[in-house]
Structure 1
């Protein structure tokens, strides 16, 4: 049908209107785009320029160089070594599994390594570099660098890692570092940003942990330009961090090595102190372990071996081991009685081999007794009954006060974590902790360092230094190599006549034929020592065991035998060092601890292997054989320079 003119006109109007609407919409959209383009190009150009730069430029934290640790003579105890490693960033890597698979074809990566890398990548932010492998060889790191285009997000780096050149010698004192854990971060209110770097290492034990803030330093920063796959093209800017402070310890590394080797095969501790300054020259806990194992990631096998060792190598026995001090405590009881005016030290007490107190019989170590003894002979022969009697006269309160005055029962402020405070028991302590009243028998036991009394080897060394000097010597482990004046200790104000008797008793312990440590005497002129043996009971032999034929300590299993102790200072006339030795389950102090104490003392005085002339003539052949065996194990050849003419 033919359309009319009117229909044609209506159709034309409709098309024109729709065209105008569509054209207007197009014009509006175009105008908006132009306006937005103008806004972005002119008004927001700086902002988008910065965003583009952020996509092209990465800002990275630079771990600071950890401070070094030296001994008193400048020997390196804790240092840093070059460490080639490979890191990966999740936001640049794309397919993580594919990249890790390619990487494992270039360097050895165990399943544990791969799993740890995946876990760390998911745990941290996408832009944080995660260490996949470290301590790589130059050949391995070169292969990774050569294949970088096929490894998006992967970067080979060279950093520093902690190393302990003296290995076992300093593990308990210096400690070791390890990767930051969640527990470490939770313990801090405001963690240093550098701690967020995966596998960043901080101090975990010893001085490394206690002095972490000084050793760590301050992180630096680096701006680098990267390409589309995250590969570093060039470094744009670098702000170096501040390295950690170096520390100088009072320890003598050679003496420390000697003490540990001298205790080889034993579970024990030895402490050597400078009596003038309180400097700790040796703090040896045996057996030890290699701190480098923890830095590199100790295996389950190695760690379980340390945990299951009955000699407890992970425990720092010098500061954490608490032992009944046994007869090394008798000087405390003697001075408490003198201070109380209960004896003049000259009166003689009869020892029949036991004393009956409150219906209980307390035995002397010599079953037949010592006869009539005064203070000096009671110390040198270690008569228990004499000190039982003195304790009944002066009481536990005065014994406790004198014990603290001599440095026992005190937690010393040293840069090592977990220092034990020992135990000076009081009436209130027993009431609070045992819900019982103090008994007379408790005082009797305490008088010879048994019962509730506990001390650490460090505390026993402090006590010995104070007896040798009449000064409140305090131990110290760090020193300033630039210091001019020696630290001065306050006086203990113990009467000289009292100390003369105590020191004479300790001198005769070692140098009198009836002294308990006579076989460990020193005959070299000017190097004689004064000391005191001690034996602390761990378990008593039961009647059933006696009936079964177990009569002496050597018949018991090792872990039920008595602890052996020895304390001494030397030289007698002008004391320079104080020594404390504890041999766990060693049996008797005179047989197990005193010979070790003598050798360590002579090594300290002679700055090396003791000369044979310092030993009694009948012992020299045996000592020489022991020294030959010892020389093969010593780390420092300088220890062998002493003549044995």
Structure 2
């Protein structure tokens, strides 16, 4: 049927409108695309160029050189050595198993190591490099570099690794570094990206850990072009990082080496402190270990041997170890009583060999007693009954206050691992700790450094330096950072009457230099190095009444772990104190027989700046001392200090 002209007109108009709309839409799309292309090619060209480069350009972090650690003389204690290593990136490697198989033909790589690497590759991000091997020889390194085309994703690198040239001597003070672990990262709120560099080394203990951020430095970057196989073609740019700060410690490498050798096979610790500045010249804990083992990845066997050793070589006994101070605490009780006015300088106490309080006998170490003694004599002969008596008059709170004034029961702020606070107990402390009242027996035990009282060798050294100098000596172990001296304000005078300090010093002088002194065998014969000190023997077991009745078992007849601790604190010269020493020998027996001679020798070495002449020793000991010296393997006295310039 033929359509009317009117219908044809309407149809043509509809088609024209639709065509117009379609054409408009097409035009709009062309304009939009044109504008978009213009924006991409002109306005955002740099942005998209970078995105495109991301497919062929990789940004690599450059680990900074770790800061060096020196002793007070400039001798290197912790440095860096060149380390050839190889890494692999899963994203670039493709078939990881095939690449590892090829790599194993070039370097020694055991089945367990290969399995561990493969496991780590699948746990980590695909673009995160994993260290396959390090400390390669030059020949191994060169073989990998030559075969690089057949090893996609594998990168041979030259880096730095930590080195401790003094070995065990400073294992506890300097500490050691190790590869960053997932546990390390979990403890850091916002980890530095440099910590994710494969096998990057982080401070684990000692100064290395406490000054980690300072020693670490800032990472640099390098832009490298890689091909489709992940192989680096060329380096486009490089921005070096900032090396870590160089740190100089207060310790003396010769004295530290001698102190450790003098401690020998004992489980022991010695601390030497400057009575004027508070500088710690030696912090020796025996036995020690080689920190280089941890840097290189210690074996399970070696680590288990260290853990299972009953002498605890991994523990830093000098600052972490807590011991009953025994009679080395008697100066604290004496000063508390003098300052409180409950005893005068000439007052005496009668010692029959024990003191009975509340139906219980508290024994003196000398079963027959000491008779009448004044304060200086009580220190000279280390009478226990004297302190039982005066402690009841002065009370534990004043004794604890004096202990804290002398540096006990205080955590000293040092960049060392697990510095112990110790315990200077009082009534409030026992109520808080045990929810029970303080007893008079607790006071008597505390007065002679037993019971709840605990102190570290560091704290005992600080106490001795404060007694010797009459000032609030504060210990320090960092001397300078990048050549800039760490401020060391002059110590304020102790709030103790000078005449009371003088009385205690006279007693300590008599301990060593009088005929009745408990440490007379450790006397220094040179007048200019005259030494004062105090012996201590702290029990680690209870002695029953029955055992006392039949005779106390000697230390020599007891198993090692049940023997008494041996302690000695000392300073010299008496008239112008320069150095103080605190020494603890775990389960060593008597302080006078075991600890005092060792501490005397260490103090002599510090005063003389090396081995003193034999004339410094009593004539009866010189033959033995001369023979003992033949067994020493001291560091080269001609070793020159490191002269690496600082960045200050």
In the superposition, the TM-score normalised over structure 1's length comes to 0.91
Equivalent residues in 2 for 1:113-192, closer than 5 Å: 113-192=113-192
How far does residue 547 in structure 1 lie from its aligned partner after superposition? 10
- Go from structure 1 to structure 2 and tell me whether the alpha carbon gap of 1:545 and 1:558 turns closer, same or farther (over 3 Å shift): farther
Given that residues 250 and 476 in structure 2 are in contact (C-alpha distance below 8 angstroms), is that contact kept between their aligned partners in structure 1? yes
Given that residues 479 and 486 in structure 2 are in contact (C-alpha distance below 8 angstroms), is that contact kept between their aligned partners in structure 1? no
How far does residue 198 in structure 1 lie from its aligned partner after superposition? 2.4
Residue-by-residue CA offset, 1:450-472 (whole Å, 9 max, x unaligned): 00000000000000000001100
> Residue in 1 aligned with 2:219?
219
Is 2:54 aligned against 1:50? no
SS of the residue 1:465 aligns to? helix
> Residue in 1 aligned with 2:4?
none
> Residue in 1 aligned with 2:589?
587
Listed as ranges, the gaps of 5+ residues in structure 1 are: 1-30, 640-645
SS of the residue 2:528 aligns to? coil
- Go from structure 1 to structure 2 and tell me whether the alpha carbon gap of 1:373 and 1:202 turns closer, same or farther (over 3 Å shift): same
Equivalent residues in 2 for 1:97-496, closer than 5 Å: 97-480=97-480, 481-483=483-485, 487-496=489-498
Given that residues 120 and 198 in structure 1 are in contact (C-alpha distance below 8 angstroms), is that contact kept between their aligned partners in structure 2? no
How far does residue 628 in structure 1 lie from its aligned partner after superposition? 1.0
> Residue in 2 aligned with 1:25?
none
SS of the residue 1:501 aligns to? helix
- Go from structure 1 to structure 2 and tell me whether the alpha carbon gap of 1:378 and 1:543 turns closer, same or farther (over 3 Å shift): closer
- Go from structure 1 to structure 2 and tell me whether the alpha carbon gap of 1:32 and 1:51 turns closer, same or farther (over 3 Å shift): farther
Distance 1:443 1:541 in 2: 18
How far does residue 48 in structure 1 lie from its aligned partner after superposition? 5.1
Given that residues 478 and 486 in structure 2 are in contact (C-alpha distance below 8 angstroms), is that contact kept between their aligned partners in structure 1? no
Distance 1:40 1:223 in 2: 30
SS of the residue 2:478 aligns to? coil
Task: Choose from 513, 517, 520 the match for 1:518.
Answer: 520
Listed as ranges, the gaps of 5+ residues in structure 2 are: 1-26, 640-648
SS of the residue 1:574 aligns to? coil
Residue-by-residue CA offset, 1:559-609 (whole Å, 9 max, x unaligned): 000000000000111100010000000000001100100000000011111
Residue-by-residue CA offset, 1:382-421 (whole Å, 9 max, x unaligned): 0001111110111111101111111110001101131110
- Go from structure 1 to structure 2 and tell me whether the alpha carbon gap of 1:483 and 1:549 turns closer, same or farther (over 3 Å shift): closer
Distance 1:311 1:96 in 2: 46
Is 2:598 aligned against 1:596? yes
> Residue in 2 aligned with 1:540?
542
Distance 1:106 1:305 in 2: 33
Residue-by-residue CA offset, 1:149-173 (whole Å, 9 max, x unaligned): 1101101000000111111011100
- Go from structure 1 to structure 2 and tell me whether the alpha carbon gap of 1:127 and 1:32 turns closer, same or farther (over 3 Å shift): farther
- Go from structure 1 to structure 2 and tell me whether the alpha carbon gap of 1:564 and 1:228 turns closer, same or farther (over 3 Å shift): same
> Residue in 2 aligned with 1:619?
621
Distance 2:455 2:163 in 1: 33
Distance 1:196 1:605 in 2: 47
Given that residues 356 and 362 in structure 1 are in contact (C-alpha distance below 8 angstroms), is that contact kept between their aligned partners in structure 2? yes
Distance 1:559 1:485 in 2: 43
- Which has the larger displacement, 535-544 or 67-76? 535-544
Is 2:514 aligned against 1:502? no
How far does residue 113 in structure 1 lie from its aligned partner after superposition? 2.1
Given that residues 427 and 437 in structure 2 are in contact (C-alpha distance below 8 angstroms), is that contact kept between their aligned partners in structure 1? yes
Distance 1:369 1:544 in 2: 19
Distance 1:191 1:595 in 2: 49
Equivalent residues in 2 for 1:56-75, closer than 5 Å: 56-75=56-75
> Residue in 2 aligned with 1:642?
none
Distance 2:30 2:485 in 1: 74
Distance 1:37 1:484 in 2: 66
Given that residues 65 and 217 in structure 1 are in contact (C-alpha distance below 8 angstroms), is that contact kept between their aligned partners in structure 2? yes
Distance 2:386 2:224 in 1: 79
- Which has the larger displacement, 227-236 or 158-167? 227-236
Distance 2:164 2:384 in 1: 46
How far does residue 638 in structure 1 lie from its aligned partner after superposition? 4.3
> Residue in 2 aligned with 1:22?
none
Given that residues 67 and 216 in structure 1 are in contact (C-alpha distance below 8 angstroms), is that contact kept between their aligned partners in structure 2? yes
> Residue in 1 aligned with 2:564?
562
> Residue in 1 aligned with 2:5?
none
SS of the residue 1:446 aligns to? helix
Distance 1:498 1:544 in 2: 40
SS of the residue 2:79 aligns to? strand
- Which has the larger displacement, 489-498 or 542-551? 542-551
How far does residue 493 in structure 1 lie from its aligned partner after superposition? 2.7
> Residue in 2 aligned with 1:21?
none
SS of the residue 1:596 aligns to? helix
- Go from structure 1 to structure 2 and tell me whether the alpha carbon gap of 1:40 and 1:149 turns closer, same or farther (over 3 Å shift): farther
- Go from structure 1 to structure 2 and tell me whether the alpha carbon gap of 1:32 and 1:82 turns closer, same or farther (over 3 Å shift): farther
- Which has the larger displacement, 453-462 or 606-615? 606-615
Question: How many aligned residue pairs are there?
Answer: 608
Residue-by-residue CA offset, 1:344-373 (whole Å, 9 max, x unaligned): 121121111100011110000000011111
Which of structure 1's runs of 4+ aligned residues deviate more than 4 A? Answer: 31-43, 541-550
Given that residues 608 and 638 in structure 1 are in contact (C-alpha distance below 8 angstroms), is that contact kept between their aligned partners in structure 2? no
Distance 1:542 1:297 in 2: 49
- Go from structure 1 to structure 2 and tell me whether the alpha carbon gap of 1:313 and 1:575 turns closer, same or farther (over 3 Å shift): same
Distance 1:360 1:244 in 2: 61
